[in-house]
C-alpha cells in the first residue's frame, strides 16, 4: 500500500477550520467535498455542532465516524497549522492537504511556519500535500479536494495531471476537459514540502486507471528522484512534460558550459533522457496527451509516418511541421504507389504524403494501402468533414479492420459535425485532433515516445576510460594532456616557463603559432589579451611575449595553429540538481549570444551524444556548409561521452570545457581546454 493512498483514496475526510461563513476557505472546501461518497466531517473548536457534522476536534469526529478519517484538509492560518496537523495525526489521520498560504512563499514568519508544519508531518508520519495549493481532485472517486469552482464538473477519465502550481493543475485539467479527455487524478503540489512530483508519479505507476500523465515543472530539488520516477512510469504509460523557465538566465559560472546550462535546459534534457515527451506550451501538452492517452507505438529507433490528406494545403502544412521536428515521412515503396495509382486521380501526389483529392468512399482503401507499406509505422490523416462525400470514422474503421496500424486523425469543419466524428473516432481508439498543427504535435509526440523507449532498451552501459586526475585545477597544457588520454586530439604544443623555451618551441613546431598565457586560474585568456595568433618569426614572438608579461604572465603555451574549420564549444559540468551534464554548441560568441546549445545528462551513449549536434539551429554549419568540413557525429559523440564519463567517474571535478573544439577536414581538434575542481574537494 502506498503512503499516498490515504491522500488520494481516503475512507474519510475531516475539514479542519470548517465554517458557517460560505465565503471562507473551510466552507468552500466542505462544499467541494460534498459529493464524496465516504465520510466528510467538519472540525471547528469554536463552532462545534455534531448534529450538523461539525466537531470540536478531529478525535471527536473520528470517534463519531463510521469509517476511519484518513485525510485532514487544513483550512486554518499558517501560524496554527502545525498544531492542527499534530492533533489530526493523533486522531489517526495519515494524510493532510494544506491549501492556505502564508508559508515560505511569503517570507518572514512564513518560513518558520512552514518549517514547523514540515516537522509536525515528519514526526507524525503524515503525507503532506502543499501548503499553498488549490488542492487536488479524483473525479472517478467523486473526490474534489479543491476550492476552485468548476473542478467538480471535470469528468473522470484516464489522464493524470501533476502540476507544480495548483492554478496550472486546474488550467490544464479544464483544457483537457475541453478536448473531451477525462481526468483520473489532478494534483497541484504547491510548495511541495513533503509530497513531490516524484512521489505522485511513483504512485501513478501502479494506477491502472491512468493511461497518460501531463507533468508541469517549475523547479526541481531532487533530480535523481524525479528522473527515476519518470523512467519507471514511462515503462508503462507515457509522460508529457511542460517545463517552465525558458528565459531563465543563470549567473555566469567560471566556465561557459556552466553558464549556458540553465536550469530550464538542463531540466528538459534530464526529463527527455528519462523518457518524457517535451512540449513548449499548454496547447501542445493537450495535443500530445490526446494522442498518447489513446495509442502508443512500440519502441522504435525512428518511426516513419505515412500521411494521407483529403486536402492538399493542410496536408502540406502537416508534413512541413513533421519534417521540421525531425519526423521521418519517407517515400512509399513502388508497389504501394502503383496500387495507389489505381485508386486515385492521376494528378494527385501519391509518394507520401498521399493527396486523395476530394475524398470519396474509397478513402478507407487508400488508408489500408498506405498502412500496408513496409516503411510505414503510423498513419496520419487530415480531412475536412464532408458528410455527403465521406464518413471518415467509417473509413478509418474499415482500414483498422483490414489490419492498418496505429492511426491519428486531424479534423476540420463545423463544430457540431467535427464533434460527432471525433467521438466516433475515439470510440475506435483513434486520437482525433483539430488543425494540421495540432496533428503535427500529436504525431511527433507518439514518435518521440517510441524513440525514447527504443534508446533506453538499446543502450548498453560502458566503463569509462580510467585516467588520473590531479587534486588541483589544470592549466590548458595539463587539461589537454588529460584529454589526450581520453583520445581527444589537440595541436602540437609546448609549455614554456621562460622566453628561451618559447623560442625553442618556435623552431620546433610547425607554424604559424599561437602564443598564450598559461595559468590555471585564468579560464578566459582572450578577455585579458592573453592570446596572440599568427606568430611566424622571433620578432613577432618577442612582441607577443612582451605583451603577455605585461599582463602578469610567467608561463606560456606555444602551439601550432589549426587549419580553418567550424568551432564548437563542448563541455561537461556538474548540475547541482541533476548531476553531470554534457553540452555542445557553436563556439565563440555565438554560443553566448544565441544560446544555440544542446544538453544531455551523463553518462550517455556515443550515438546519443553525437546526435546532440543535430539539435542545434546552426547544425548546417557542421554538414559541409559552403565547402566547409563535415563534423563526424561519431567522433563528436565520442568526445562528449568521454567528457561526461570523466565527471561521472571523478566527483571532485566541477567542470571541463573545450572551447573551441574545431571541426577540420582532418578531424576534431581541442584548441583550448579548462578543467576545474569542485571548491569543496580542493586540498
* Mean pLDDT across 628-648: 95
Give me the pLDDT at residue 83, please.
97
Say yes or no to pLDDT of 261 above 60: no
Cis peptide leading into residue 330 (ω within 30°): no
**Of 304, 322, 429, which is closest to residue 377 (Cα–Cα)?**
304
Neighbours of 679 (CB within 10 A): 7
Give me the pLDDT at residue 257, please.
43
pLDDT digits (tens, 9 = 90+) for 1-13: 899 999 999 999 9
Give me the pLDDT at residue 255, please.
44
From the number of C-beta atoms within 10 Å of its C-beta (0-12, 13-18, 19+), residue 615 rates as middle
More confident residue, 351 or 402: 351
Using CA atoms, how far apart are residues 213 and 292, in angstroms rounded to an integer?
9
**Of 460, 463, 456, 461, which is closest to residue 649 (Cα–Cα)?**
463
> Would the CATH topology of 1-132 be identical to that of 305-458?
yes
Give residue 589's pLDDT band: very low, low, confident or very high (50, 70, 90).
low
Instruction: Measure Cα distances from 584 to 568, 571, 603 in Å.
Output: 7, 7, 15
Give residue 224's pLDDT band: very low, low, confident or very high (50, 70, 90).
very high
pLDDT digits (tens, 9 = 90+) for 516-560: 999 998 888 888 899 999 999 999 999 999 999 999 999 999 999
* Mean pLDDT across 141-156: 96
Say yes or no to pLDDT of 236 above 70: yes
More confident residue, 57 or 20: 57
Domains of the chain, by residue range, sit at 1-132, 135-293, 305-458, 492-560, 566-681
Instruction: Measure Cα distances from 105 to 133, 193, 196, 374 in Å.
Output: 11, 12, 16, 56
Give residue 467's pLDDT band: very low, low, confident or very high (50, 70, 90).
confident
Say yes or no to pLDDT of 31 above 90: yes
Q: What is the DSSP string of 128-182?
A: EE-SS--EEEEGGGTEEEE-STTGGGSPEEEEEEEESSHHHHHHHHHHHHHTT--
Q: Which fold has domain 1-132?
A: Rossmann fold (3.40.50)
* Mean pLDDT across 626-638: 93
Say yes or no to pLDDT of 464 above 90: no
**Of 192, 224, 248, 242, which is closest to residue 577 (Cα–Cα)?**
224
Place of cell 492533533: 87
Q: Given CA atoms 333, 335, 336, 338 in this order, what sign does their dihedral have?
A: positive
Using CA atoms, how far apart are residues 291 and 437, in angstroms rounded to an integer?
13
pLDDT digits (tens, 9 = 90+) for 62-83: 999 999 999 999 999 999 999 9
> If DSSP codes are grouped into helix, strand and coil, which group holds residue 594?
helix
Give me the pLDDT at residue 262, please.
62
Give me the pLDDT at residue 548, please.
96
Q: What is the DSSP letter of 213?
A: E
**Three-state SS letters, 456-515:** HHHCCCCCCCCCCCCCCCECHHHHHHHHHHCCCCCCCEEEECCHHHHHHHHHHCCCCEEE
C-beta separation of 234 from 275 below 8 A = yes
Q: Which fold has domain 492-560?
A: Dna Ligase; domain 1 (3.30.1490)
Distance between start and end Cα atoms, the chain: 48
Place of cell 463545423: 414
The architecture CATH gives domain 305-458: 3-Layer(aba) Sandwich (3.40)
Say yes or no to pLDDT of 594 above 80: no
Give, for 448, the enclosing helix (H) or strand (E). helix 436-458
Winning range, highest mean pLDDT, from 17-26, 270-279, 595-604: 270-279
Give me the pLDDT at residue 307, please.
98
- List for the chain the helix, strand, coil content (%; round to 5): 40, 20, 35
* Mean pLDDT across 462-466: 79
**Phi/psi of residue 326, nearest 5 degrees:** 80, 20
**Three-state SS letters, 358-412:** CCCCCHHHHHHHHHCCCCCCEEEEEEECCCCCCCHHHHHHHHHHCCCCCEEEEEE
Mean pLDDT, all residues of the chain = 92
From the number of C-beta atoms within 10 Å of its C-beta (0-12, 13-18, 19+), residue 539 rates as exposed
Using CA atoms, how far apart are residues 294 and 80, in angstroms rounded to an integer?
45
Q: What is the DSSP letter of 261?
A: S
Give me the pLDDT at residue 253, please.
33
pLDDT digits (tens, 9 = 90+) for 81-121: 999 999 999 999 999 999 989 999 999 999 999 999 999 99
**Max CA-CA distance within the chain?**
101
**Phi/psi of residue 548, nearest 5 degrees:** -70, -40
Q: Which fold has domain 566-681?
A: D-amino Acid Aminotransferase; Chain A, domain 1 (3.30.470)
Of the candidate CATH numbers 2.40.110.10, 3.40.50.2300, 3.40.50.1950, 3.40.50.261, the domain formed by 135-293 belongs to: 3.40.50.261
> If DSSP codes are grouped into helix, strand and coil, which group holds residue 581?
strand
Question: Which cell is 668 given?
Answer: 576534431
Give me the pLDDT at residue 680, please.
66
Say yes or no to pLDDT of 252 above 70: no
* Mean pLDDT across 464-493: 91
Using CA atoms, how far apart are residues 230 and 239, in angstroms rounded to an integer?
7
Using CA atoms, how far apart are residues 291 and 458, in angstroms rounded to an integer?
25
Give residue 260's pLDDT band: very low, low, confident or very high (50, 70, 90).
low
pLDDT digits (tens, 9 = 90+) for 475-485: 999 999 999 99
Give me the pLDDT at residue 320, please.
97
* Mean pLDDT across 378-393: 92
Amino acid at each position: 500500500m502506498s503512503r499516498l493512498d490515504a491522500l488520494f483514496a481516503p475512507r474519510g475526510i475531516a475539514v479542519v477550520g470548517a465554517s458557517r461563513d460560505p465565503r471562507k476557505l473551510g466552507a468552500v472546501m466542505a462544499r467541494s467535498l460534498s459529493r464524496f461518497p465516504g465520510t466528510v466531517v467538519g472540525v471547528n473548536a469554536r463552532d462545534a455542532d455534531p448534529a450538523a457534522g461539525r466537531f470540536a476536534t478531529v478525535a471527536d469526529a473520528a470517534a463519531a465516524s463510521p469509517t476511519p478519517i484518513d485525510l485532514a484538509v487544513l483550512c486554518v492560518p499558517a501560524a496554527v497549522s502545525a498544531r492542527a496537523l499534530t492533533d489530526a495525526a493523533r486522531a489517526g489521520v495519515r494524510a493532510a492537504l494544506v491549501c492556505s498560504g502564508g508559508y515560505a512563499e511569503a517570507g518572514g514568519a512564513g518560513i518558520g511556519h512552514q518549517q514547523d508544519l514540515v516537522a509536525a508531518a515528519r514526526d507524525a508520519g503524515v503525507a503532506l500535500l502543499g501548503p499553498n495549493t488549490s488542492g487536488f481532485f479524483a473525479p472517478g472517486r467523486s473526490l474534489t479536494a479543491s476550492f476552485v469552482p468548476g473542478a467538480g464538473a471535470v469528468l473522470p477519465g484516464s489522464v493524470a495531471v501533476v502540476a507544480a502550481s495548483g492554478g496550472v493543475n486546474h488550467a490544464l485539467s479544464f483544457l483537457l476537459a475541453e478536448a473531451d479527455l477525462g481526468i483520473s487524478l489532478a494534483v497541484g503540489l504547491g510548495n511541495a514540502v513533503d509530497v513531490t512530483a516524484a512521489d505522485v508519479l511513483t504512485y501513478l505507476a501502479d494506477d491502472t486507471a491512468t493511461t497518460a500523465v501531463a507533468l508541469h515543472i517549475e523547479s526541481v530539488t531532487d533530480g535523481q528522484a524525479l528522473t527515476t520516477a519518470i523512467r519507471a512510469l514511462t515503462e508503462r504509460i507515457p509522460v508529457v512534460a511542460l517545463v517552465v523557465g525558458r528565459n531563465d538566465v543563470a549567473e555566469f559560472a567560471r566556465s561557459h558550459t556552466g553558464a549556458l546550462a540553465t536550469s530550464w535546459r538542463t531540466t528538459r534534457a534530464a526529463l527527455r533522457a528519462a523518457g518524457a515527451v517535451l512540449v513548449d506550451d499548454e496547447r501542445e501538452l493537450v495535443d500530445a496527451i490526446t494522442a498518447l492517452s489513446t495509442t502508443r507505438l512500440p519502441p522504435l529507433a525512428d518511426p516513419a509516418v505515412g500521411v494521407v490528406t483529403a486536402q492538399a494545403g493542410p496536408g502540406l502544412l502537416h508534413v512541413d511541421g513533421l519534417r521540421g521536428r525531425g519526423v521521418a515521412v519517407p517515400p512509399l515503396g513502388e508497389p504501394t504507389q502503383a496500387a495507389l495509382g489505381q485508386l486515385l486521380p492521376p494528378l494527385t501526389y501519391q509518394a507520401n504524403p498521399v493527396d486523395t483529392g476530394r475524398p470519396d468512399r474509397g478513402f478507407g482503401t487508400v488508408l489500408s494501402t498506405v498502412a500496408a507499406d513496409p516503411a510505414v509505422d503510423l498513419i496520419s490523416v487530415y480531412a475536412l468533414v464532408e458528410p455527403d462525400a465521406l464518413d471518415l470514422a467509417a473509413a478509418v474503421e474499415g482500414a483498422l479492420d483490414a489490419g492498418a496500424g496505429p492511426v491519428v486523425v486531424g479534423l476540420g469543419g463545423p463544430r457540431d459535425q467535427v464533434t460527432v466524428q471525433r467521438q466516433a473516432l475515439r470510440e475506435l481508439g483513434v486520437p482525433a485532433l483539430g488543425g494540421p498543427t495540432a496533428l503535427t504535435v500529436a504525431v511527433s509526440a507518439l514518435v518521440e515516445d517510441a524513440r525514447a523507449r527504443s534508446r533506453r532498451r538499446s543502450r548498453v552501459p560502458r566503463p569509462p576510460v580510467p585516467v588520473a586526475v590531479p587534486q588541483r585545477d589544470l592549466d590548458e597544457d595539463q587539461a589537454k594532456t588529460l584529454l589526450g588520454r581520453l583520445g581527444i586530439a589537440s595541436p602540437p604544443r609546448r609549455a614554456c616557463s621562460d622566453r628561451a623555451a618559447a623560442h625553442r618551441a618556435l623552431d620546433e613546431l610547425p607554424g604559424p603559432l599561437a602564443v598564450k598565457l598559461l595559468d590555471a586560474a585564468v579560464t578566459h585568456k582572450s578577455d585579458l589579451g592573453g592570446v596572440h595568433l599568427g606568430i611566424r618569426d622571433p620578432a613577432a614572438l618577442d612582441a607577443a611575449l612582451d605583451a603577455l608579461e605585461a599582463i602578469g604572465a610567467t608561463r606560456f603555451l606555444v602551439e601550432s595553429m589549426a587549419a580553418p574549420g567550424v568551432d564548437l564549444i563542448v563541455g561537461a559540468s556538474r548540475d547541482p540538481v541533476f548531476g553531470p551534464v554534457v553540452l555542445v554548441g557553436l563556439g565563440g560568441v555565438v554560443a553566448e549570444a544565441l544560446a544555440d546549445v544542446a544538453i544531455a545528462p551523463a553518462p550517455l551513449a556515443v550515438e546519443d551524444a553525437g546526435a546532440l549536434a543535430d539539435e542545434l539551429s546552426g547544425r548546417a554549419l557542421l554538414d559541409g556548409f559552403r565547402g566547409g568540413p563535415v563534423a563526424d557525429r561519431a567522433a563528436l559523440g565520442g568526445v562528449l561521452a568521454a567528457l561526461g564519463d570523466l565527471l561521472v567517474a571523478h566527483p571532485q571535478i566541477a567542470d571541463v570545457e573545450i572551447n573551441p573544439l574545431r571541426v577540420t577536414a582532418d578531424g576534431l581538434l581541442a584548441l583550448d581546454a579548462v578543467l576545474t575542481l569542485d571548491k569543496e574537494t580542493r586540498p
